[in-house]
Amino acid sequence: MKIDHHNVAWSAATPASERDVRAAFTQLLKREPESAEIVQNWLGRKWSLGDLARYVRGSAEFADRSAKALMPLLLKTDRYQAIYGLPHLSLKDARDCVDRCVAVTEAFERLFGLTNLAHLKVADIGCSLGYPSLYLADRGADVTGYDFRKENVDFCRGAAEILDIPAKFNLAVFDWPLARQLVADGTNVVLLWSVLHHVIEQLGFVETKKIVAYLLASGVTLVCELAHANEDVTHKWRETLPANELDLFDSKSVQVSNIGNFVALSGISQRNMYVAQMAGVTLSPLASERQPERSGGAAPVRIGPLTFSGISHVGVPFKQYASTEDLFVKFFRYGAANRFDVLRRMEAEFFANKLLASTGLLPKLQSVSRAPNFVGLAFDKVKGAQGLIEWSRKADMVQRRSMAIKIAEGYATIAKQSLYWNDCRDHNILVGKDGRVIFIDFELASPLESEDNARRARWLLWHLCTNAKWDSSYVSHLPTSELPDLPKFAPNDLRATWVRIERLIPTGAA
């Protein structure tokens, strides 16, 4: 089937409203009625936009056009790597990367609970012909590939354009200036696939280890495929490698997971791939909170894995999380492009906690960690607490309505401080083991209202009070103007609960 790629190609990361997509599909049907099955599959939600884009790239028309556009650029490269989305341009013995890409995405879900790649801002070092860069960007990640060969960068840029994938590619070598740039730009993941042995040969093992340590201490997650000293090759770099490739990491300050073993050098070698993160942070108690028993000041603390957002549908690569036995640490990462917004969010979280500290409604902010462009706020961990929806599944309607009143009372207490929460969501409300309500995530809090707080709070509590099968989907599509309407023949207990909630959260309240 012939399909005009430019009219129906969207990558998973390309913003497009459903209305725009349906309109484009309507035009496609008029031109090519035989595409009806594909269109219907998407409209029936069997396909994502990314699925559709990848299908379109498989058409014969697109294969012919892409070959004509890219072959002159491709012939200037060594064609060592397979070409993402363009298998007809790949050599038979080219290094296939799909197994590595799948291993990484599966490992990130297993280790960090990550299912939305939009939370990743990735630097692909030594990107070659761009396979991992394009693969991840096609699934929502913000990716920039770097290579020291101009021919590779030119080809990657051309491939990204023809595939309509928003990956960026730059000419660079991996050294201190690039490492500092990545941290300054807010990068949270760096791919180093069969790259570091070349860096070690150029800079030496000690200097390379320092660069790796700098990235890890800045909260960057490294995905490294490492060559080893006993490979059966004659390359000079083999003589510069340590006996154990893991000597590149400081075992005391780094947590490392082996996520797979892959063929390299056309089958000559097998190399392990590792995911590495920092294993600890230095926490400094807040100056106003210093007590005699804490006179020691800053202290190193071991943390669990640095995780990514498991809630937001919109990419938030500037936020990550970690835990200790007693603390929950929320990290803010800022770069040149988002510095003002991220610092504003961090300050809002800090000052809201200080303003509401006496209410007992928020986990107490205990300490702060600081690294280049990476700041963590450490809160008391509310042990045994459940998310509101999780709690509600085991609660009867009487308990749920009682909890709704508690939430409304807490909300009213926040409003009395002339503070708008601006993020009233079910996942930002916890229920402790003792039944108390805990409010979290105040990075959008402000004296100014950026959303209709009262309407959102009322709808959230309405679903809690009335809907036995309540979940996040109900609250994520709230009406834009109207408020919940109490049925004329509502049970007396619901009527009494709702009247009280309306008094606590009047229309126009914070």
Instruction: Give the pLDDT confidence of 25-51 residue by residue, as tens digits.
Output: 666 656 666 566 666 665 555 556 566
Which helix (DSSP H) or strand (DSSP E) does residue 457 occupy? helix 453-466
* DSSP calls for 246-274: GGGS-TTTEEEEEEEEEEEGGGTEEEEEE
- Residue limits of CATH 3.30.200 in the chain: 282-380
CB proximity list for 171: less than 8 A, separation 6 or greater: 146, 147, 148, 150, 153
Instruction: Please state the rounded mean pLDDT for residues 307-330.
Output: 89
What is the pLDDT, as a whole number, of residue 404? Answer: 96
- The mean pLDDT of 115-143, rounded to a whole number, is 95
Which helix (H) or strand (E) element contains residue 190? strand 189-193
Residue 14 three-state SS: coil
Helix (H, G, I), strand (E, B) or coil at 144: strand
Confidence tier at 15 by pLDDT (50, 70, 90)? very low
Token readout for 117 is 């790649």
User: How remote is the C-alpha of 154 from its chain's centroid?
Assistant: 28
Query: Residues of the chain with pLDDT > 70: what percent?
Result: 83
Residue 429 contacts residue 388 (beta carbons within 8 Å): yes
285, 294 contact by CB (below 8 A): yes
Q: Classify domain 386-504 at the CATH topology level.
A: Transferase(Phosphotransferase); domain 1 (1.10.510)
Average pLDDT score over residue span 201-220: 96
- Tell me the pLDDT band of 8, cut-offs 50, 70 and 90: very low
Task: Give the residue carrying structure tokens 């309540």.
Answer: 470
Mean of pLDDT values over 304-309: 92
Q: Tell me the torsion sign for CA atoms 64, 67, 72, 73.
A: positive
Per the document, the length of the chain is 510
Asked which of 134-148, 371-385, 480-494 is least confident by mean pLDDT, the reply is 480-494
Is the pLDDT score of 462 beyond 50? yes
At 273, the pLDDT band (50, 70, 90 cuts) reads very high
> β-pairing, 221-226 with 189-193?
parallel
Name the token pair of 510.
């914070």
pLDDT confidence of 124, banded at 50, 70, 90? Answer: very high
pLDDT at 172 over 50: yes
Q: Which residue has the higher pLDDT, 293 or 20?
A: 20
- Of 6-20, 242-256, 257-271, 276-290, give the lowest mean pLDDT range: 6-20
User: Are the C-beta atoms of 253 and 247 separated by less than 8 Å?
Assistant: no
pLDDT at 7 over 50: no
In this prediction, residue 122 carries a pLDDT of 98
Q: Where in the chain is the domain with CATH 1.10.510.10?
A: 386-504
CA angle (381, 384, 389) in 5-degree steps: 105
Query: Considering only 275-284, 460-469, 470-479, which range has the smallest mean pLDDT?
Result: 470-479
Mean residue pLDDT across the chain: 86
pLDDT band at 213 (very low <50, low <70, confident <90, very high): very high
Residues of each domain in the chain carrying CATH 3.40.50.150: 78-280
Residue 62 Cα distances to 57, 67, 127, 132, angstroms:
6, 8, 24, 21
Asked if 361 and 438 count as a contact pair (C-beta separation under 8 A), the reply is yes
Q: Which helix (H) or strand (E) holds 322?
A: strand 319-323
In whole angstroms, what is the distance from residue 25 CA to residue 37 CA? Answer: 11
Cβ atoms of residues 42 and 167 within 8 Å = no
Question: Which residue in 363, 341, 342, 343 sits closest to 441, CA to CA?
Answer: 363
Using DSSP's 3-state secondary structure scheme, residue 108 falls into: helix
| Assigned token pair, 249 | 């990491």
Tell me the mean pLDDT in the region 159-171: 94
Instruction: Summarize pLDDT for 348-366 with one digit per residue, the tens.
Output: 999 999 999 999 999 999 9
Residue 6 pLDDT: 40
pLDDT above 70 (res 432): yes
Taking the CB of residue 41, how many other CB atoms lie within 10 A of it?
14
Domain 78-280: CATH architecture, name and number where available: 3-Layer(aba) Sandwich (3.40)
Q: What is the pLDDT of residue 485?
A: 77
pLDDT band at 72 (very low <50, low <70, confident <90, very high): very high
Least confident of 8-17, 168-177, 387-396: 8-17
Please state which of the ranges 51-65, 107-121, 167-181, 371-385 shows the lowest mean pLDDT: 51-65
Amino acid 268: pLDDT: 79
- For residue 275, which of 258, 250, 254, 262 has the smallest C-alpha distance? 258
Q: How confident is the model at residue 309 (pLDDT cuts 50, 70, 90)?
A: confident
Q: Specify the pLDDT at position 26.
A: 63
Strand partners, 124: 145, 191
Confidence of residue 313 (pLDDT cuts 50, 70, 90): confident
pLDDT > 60? residue 271: yes
Give the pLDDT confidence score for residue 40 in this predicted structure: 61
Structure tokens at 216: 């890890």
Please return the burial class of 288, using the count of CB atoms within 10 Å of its CB with bins 0-12, 13-18 and 19+: exposed
The per-residue pLDDT for 300 is 87
pLDDT at 471 over 60: yes
Q: What would the two tokens of residue 71 be?
A: 């072959």
Average pLDDT over every residue of 262-273: 84
For the segment 222-260, what is each residue's pLDDT rounded down to a tens digit?
999 999 988 888 888 988 999 999 999 998 899 999 999
Q: Taking the chain, what is the end-to-end CA distance rounded to the nearest angstrom?
A: 56
Cα(362)–Cα(342) distance, rounded to whole angstroms? 21
Q: Closest by alpha carbon to 260, among 87, 504, 28, 97?
A: 97
Instruction: Give the residue from 452, 443, 510, 439 showing the smallest Cα distance to 478.
Output: 452
Query: What DSSP letter does each residue of 323-373 carry, written as one string?
Result: E-SSEEEEEEE--TTTHHHHHHHHHHHHHHHHHTGGGT-SPPEEEEEEETT
Q: Which segments of 381-493 are extended strands (E)? A: 386-387, 429-431, 437-439
Q: Which helix (H) or strand (E) holds 375?
A: strand 374-380
What does the pLDDT read at residue 235?
A: 87
Which helix (H) or strand (E) covers residue 378, if one does? strand 374-380
CATH number of 282-380: 3.30.200
| Pair 123, 189: CB distance under 8 Å | yes
